[in-house]
Structure 1
Amino acid sequence: MTSPSPSRRPITGLLRLLAVLLTVLGVVAVSAGAAVGPARVERPIGSGPVASFSITTPACAVAGVPFRLTVTARDAAGRAVPSYRGTISFGQGPHDYSGLPETYTFTAADRGRHAFSVTVFTAGGWAFSTHELGDLSVAGTGRGITVRPGRATQLAVAIPPEPIVAGVTVPIEVIAWDDWGNIATSYRGTVAMSTTDPAQGAGVAPARIRFTRADVGRVALELPDGLTLLTPGDHTVTATDVRRPTLTGSTHVVLPEPRTTGPGLNGWGDNEFGQLGDGTLTDRSTPVVTSTVRTWTDVAAGGQHSLALADDGTLWSWGSTDFGQLGRISEEPGVDPGEVGTSSAWTQIEAGSVSSAGIMDDGTLWLWGSLADSSAPVQVPGTGWVDVALGSDHGVGLRSDGTLWTWGRNDSGQLGTGSPEEYVSVPTQVGGGYWAAIAAGADHTLALRADGSLWAWGRNAFGEVGDGTTTTRSTPVPIAPGTAFAAVAAAGDHSAALTADGGLWTWGRNTQGTLGDGTTTDRLVPQQVATDRTWKTVQLGGASAAAIATDGTLWAWGRDSAGQLGDGTAVDRWAPTQVGTAADWTTVSVGTEFMLGLRS
């Protein structure tokens, strides 16, 4: 074998090296010594077809300030595709940003990557996405960007929606905003508060509010701080930065003329749940005209809710609705009357602790709230109902044939049937004979027969049954035999009755002067009180009582924890005390810590 000449070895090696290089460059090389023809060009080694898009943004931006958003076309391996000339879509519809078109077509100059100048106006977390027009499978979403609020450019003053009452402080809130409607969380200024009410003692306390980092752009003044107005009329409440007077804001508020008593529906006492029906949650220590949306013919005050009958036969409710006692779909307390259903056939109403009842003109009885386990009226079995009374958790009804029926809880014998059952779900007849009137306390029951004789049963821990003992009675027992009564009332652990000649009698628990006899001594039998006048109606509720005299004046006594006695104080009264000077009261109803009344 002949070895290649030494001069030829380096040439062969160089040719081989050149072939490798040409292969890398996409040109097919020929072996050394072979004939070389035109080169066959293959597809360059590089990116493949577009499989997705990447979107890059800064991690943070400021509302209203442009930032750079870059979209890059990429193949399946994640490599940029400089040759991409397709069209992408950012979606349609309104957006809270600017700078992104609905569609964009890449050009040769983009080389597969295009940057947009985007401005976002709403603070928060944002993530942008895009896809190839007509092909949702070729898409991409950015990693997200946090947009911070802009610099504070305006202040706002927020006041609760309920009506303002003269001299009653209400909480307010001061908020710093940027130009785009975001709370300016970085605001650290000091704000001076002012009002247009010239009265001494009116204004905002404190008069200056300093925003700190922890406030994140909003400061709420909680009671006892807040806004107090004294002068009826239109007022402006203004907040102004002490160093930047142009950073300011205000709100308009109306202080109505003071409410007073007058014809129609009046309410007073506790109003925590809007049970007075005056559109506020403000307690009243004297009667004030509340709802005037209808002409009312009857009212009933319950635990913390109210019912009223309008002259067109419709039934309305307001106040607390924790147990569905308003009889209408409502999860929040109703500070204004709302209609119960659509019927205009209601003739009688009754409000218990957390239940309600009504009778229609066809003699049907309807129940709702805790005792019915329903927030909508449910019909009680039977017909011919003419009267109904509700205790804490039991019901009493009279039918037109004079029969008396009870249902509900019976753990204290309050149903009067003598049965050991602790709960009876359907009305059960009590005794025989003809009954004429009924009343229900918390856990005891009173009833009158047609001859005026009084009977009672149920819990008797404080003498509320009135038989001279504190023994619980599970069947009716006679009370004050020989005395003819004309009306009865009961609530809590106390009782009352009127005789035909207008005498007022009370008995039972007397812790806070509830019996009106000038003492706080419990009474185990009925005793006559307030003999200086004659009475035409008496009502009890909680530990308070009220009665209308035959001259039309209204009197109240007992507990006065929330102004429910209506004399402008919160002082318990152990004897009847006149409520105002009006002599045209026609109806009164007593709730747990509030009262309702009608004036002609």
Structure 2
Amino acid sequence: MKKTITLFFIFLSLQNYAQCWQTVSSGSDHTLALKTDGTLWAWGDNGSGELGDGTTVDKNMPVQIGTANDWQKISAGHNFSLAIKTDGTLWAWGFNSWGQLGNGANTRQISPVKIGTATDWQSISASRGTTGGHCIALKTNGTLWAWGRNSLGQLGDNTLVDKNQPIQIGVDTDWRLIATGGNHSLAIKTTGALWAWGWNGTHQLGDGTNINKLVPTQVGTATNWQSINGAYTHNLGIKTDGTLWTWGFGPEGKLGLGTVSIAEVPTQVGSSNDWAKAIAGINHSVALKSNGTLWSWGKNESGELGFGTNSTTNIVVPTQVSTNADKTLISAGESFTQIMNSDGFLYATGLNTVGQLGDGTNANKNTLTPIVCTALAVNEFKSMQVKAYPNPVRELLHLSYEQEITMVSIYNLLGQEVYNKSVQADEATLDLSALSPGTYLVKVTSADNAQTLKIVKQ
């Protein structure tokens, strides 16, 4: 009976972790995420305040940003961040040299600041890539807006002048979906037609030329575009028939067209018609099929493709990552990838030098590594009586408690017990050197209480 109750509580703890994440957005080297309770979390590079926690210190684990629980949409760019709240207000923070925060200034902000007074913002897209510094957005009335860097016409206002406040682009009210590349922009209208503008030096606009466009320009004549996503020099799109298309420049194989490295116009990838989502990283690509399977291709030097290897040999066609068919959301940064499954578990793989994966380490990963969603906020953890240090831990984990500890049990994220120790003292030292690197739940039991903590084993 006691074992059944213990497993039941561990199951509840895992369910709490599993159902925690709602969505994630990968910037160049940082990550934003929303929990199902509407709170905002961030990790990774923070040199420009792009995490929004009031500091410029990198974080390799998720940290809560403020205390608000009404965040709705997020977009992580290159050293800056955007978000929309449920009341339709727009917020921004981070690097701001080109006015990409839209607050009328060009100085960085290390905490979220409200942009203007409008309450009808619907969707946002922040540009990534080393020179990315512009934003585009849609309002609920179908109008298109842009601000930030404009040296290559990426705002679409027929000028090359940066804007540090949102400006409306044209007068059309039938815009449906938007995406930014490094220095270009993409959009789909309610008619299903595809439009692009900005830098076109590597054919990323898909119009058959390499001439920059200063205003939105229709790409081809197709009217069945369903979704689009852009990176620095290439783009991915899915049509309503489930076919996958790519265009731009991709010598790393990120176009998915085999040895073909340039596509001047949208070109179909393979012949499958069951693609559901596609995301362009800077030098790699990831996609989901309608059956929930994950596929990736392109550069893999940092393990960003998730195949369990790091290789200078590029993967030039979409290749299935695993046999699991439970993936529902994908996001890609400069050299890392993040995946969410149907249970709300978040996984990451790839470059991790500034903690952009969020697993509590700064070591690169080449397989999908779970990013545990802590059940409590940071300030709540501080008030707990059980103390565990160091965390992350390499070998010895020290526990202390105001009451006598009777038993310590450690579980992996599948709910399997991997360690236990009888203690009978208010302090304990655990030798965890035999545990594999990863995230674990530590259940500390006393005579009349039990607490479950999260630790990261390096």
The TM-score, its normalising length taken from structure 2, stands at: 0.68
Equivalent of residue 511 in structure 1, options 301, 316, 319: 301
Q: Which amino acid aligns with 1:377?
A: P
The secondary structure found in structure 2 opposite 1:362 is coil
Aligned to 1:453: 243
Aligned to 2:366: 574
Aligned to 2:108: 333
Aligned to 2:177: 387
CA–CA distance in structure 1, aligned partners of residues 105 and 291 of structure 2: 45
CA drift at 1:288: 1.2
Aligned to 1:367: 146
Distance 1:385 1:480, change over 3 A: same
CA drift at 1:274: 1.0
Tell me if the contact between 2:138 and 2:145 (Cα under 8 Å) persists in the aligned partners.
yes
CA drift at 1:502: 0.8
Question: What's the CA shift string for 1:57-97, capped at 9, x where partnerless?
Answer: xxxxxxxxxxxxxxxxxxxxxxxxxxxxxxxxxxxxxxxxx
CA drift at 1:497: 1.0
Residue 522 of structure 1 pairs with residue 314 of structure 2: yes
CA drift at 1:402: 0.5
Identical positions, percent: 37
CA–CA distance in structure 2, aligned partners of residues 420 and 407 of structure 1: 11
Q: Which consecutive residues of structure 1, in runs of 5 or more, have no partner in the other structure?
A: 1-260, 585-600
Distance 1:276 1:503, change over 3 A: same
Equivalent of residue 278 in structure 2, options 482, 488, 502: 488
CA RMSD of aligned residues (A): 1.7
Q: Where do 1:350-365 residues align within 5 Å?
A: 350-353=125-128, 354-365=133-144
Residue 377 of structure 1 pairs with residue 169 of structure 2: no
The secondary structure found in structure 2 opposite 1:406 is strand
User: What is the number of residues matched between the two proteins?
Assistant: 323
Q: Where do 1:173-212 residues align within 5 Å?
A: none
Q: Where do 1:77-476 residues align within 5 Å?
A: 263=37, 264-293=39-68, 295-353=70-128, 354-370=133-149, 371-372=154-155, 373-381=162-170, 382-421=172-211, 423-431=212-220, 432-476=222-266
Equivalent of residue 538 in structure 1, options 314, 326, 330: 330
CA–CA distance in structure 1, aligned partners of residues 140 and 373 of structure 2: 36
Tell me if the contact between 1:441 and 1:494 (Cα under 8 Å) persists in the aligned partners.
no
Tell me if the contact between 2:202 and 2:210 (Cα under 8 Å) persists in the aligned partners.
no
Q: Which amino acid aligns with 2:275?
A: F
Equivalent of residue 549 in structure 1, options 341, 344, 352: 341
CA drift at 1:294: 5.7
The secondary structure found in structure 2 opposite 1:348 is strand
CA–CA distance in structure 2, aligned partners of residues 375 and 294 of structure 1: 28
CA–CA distance in structure 2, aligned partners of residues 460 and 470 of structure 1: 8
The secondary structure found in structure 2 opposite 1:522 is strand
Which range moves more in the overlay, 402-411 or 375-384?
375-384
CA–CA distance in structure 1, aligned partners of residues 241 and 316 of structure 2: 23
Question: What's the CA shift string for 1:88-134, capped at 9, x where partnerless?
Answer: xxxxxxxxxxxxxxxxxxxxxxxxxxxxxxxxxxxxxxxxxxxxxxx
CA–CA distance in structure 2, aligned partners of residues 398 and 570 of structure 1: 38
Tell me if the contact between 1:530 and 1:575 (Cα under 8 Å) persists in the aligned partners.
no
Tell me if the contact between 1:407 and 1:425 (Cα under 8 Å) persists in the aligned partners.
yes
Tell me if the contact between 1:554 and 1:583 (Cα under 8 Å) persists in the aligned partners.
no
CA–CA distance in structure 1, aligned partners of residues 375 and 204 of structure 2: 37
Distance 1:294 1:318, change over 3 A: farther
The secondary structure found in structure 1 opposite 2:300 is coil
Distance 1:530 1:323, change over 3 A: farther
Distance 1:420 1:332, change over 3 A: closer
CA drift at 1:380: 2.0
Question: What's the CA shift string for 1:324-367, capped at 9, x where partnerless?
Answer: 11011233210111111211000111111311111000101111
Distance 1:409 1:583, change over 3 A: farther
The secondary structure found in structure 2 opposite 1:509 is strand
CA–CA distance in structure 1, aligned partners of residues 372 and 148 of structure 2: 34
The TM-score, its normalising length taken from structure 1, stands at: 0.52
Question: What's the CA shift string for 1:9-58, capped at 9, x where partnerless?
Answer: xxxxxxxxxxxxxxxxxxxxxxxxxxxxxxxxxxxxxxxxxxxxxxxxxx
CA–CA distance in structure 2, aligned partners of residues 420 and 308 of structure 1: 33
CA drift at 1:420: 3.7
CA–CA distance in structure 2, aligned partners of residues 298 and 341 of structure 1: 17
Question: What's the CA shift string for 1:421-446, capped at 9, x where partnerless?
Answer: 2x111111112231000000111111
Equivalent of residue 565 in structure 1, options 354, 357, 361: 357
CA drift at 1:277: 1.0
CA drift at 1:482: 2.1
CA–CA distance in structure 2, aligned partners of residues 463 and 404 of structure 1: 24
The secondary structure found in structure 2 opposite 1:466 is coil
Q: Where do 1:24-103 residues align within 5 Å?
A: none
CA drift at 1:583: 9.2
CA–CA distance in structure 2, aligned partners of residues 385 and 583 of structure 1: 39
Computing the radius of gyration from Cα coordinates, the structure with the larger value is 1
Q: Which amino acid aligns with 2:137?
A: G
Tell me if the contact between 1:553 and 1:582 (Cα under 8 Å) persists in the aligned partners.
no
Q: Which amino acid aligns with 2:327?
A: W
Structure 1 stretches of 4+ with a deviation exceeding 3 A read 581-584
Question: What's the CA shift string for 1:535-579, capped at 9, x where partnerless?
Answer: 110001111111111111000111001011111111111111000
CA–CA distance in structure 2, aligned partners of residues 331 and 291 of structure 1: 23
Q: Which amino acid aligns with 1:385?
A: W
Aligned to 1:180: none
CA–CA distance in structure 1, aligned partners of residues 79 and 327 of structure 2: 27
Question: What's the CA shift string for 1:139-181, capped at 9, x where partnerless?
Answer: xxxxxxxxxxxxxxxxxxxxxxxxxxxxxxxxxxxxxxxxxxx
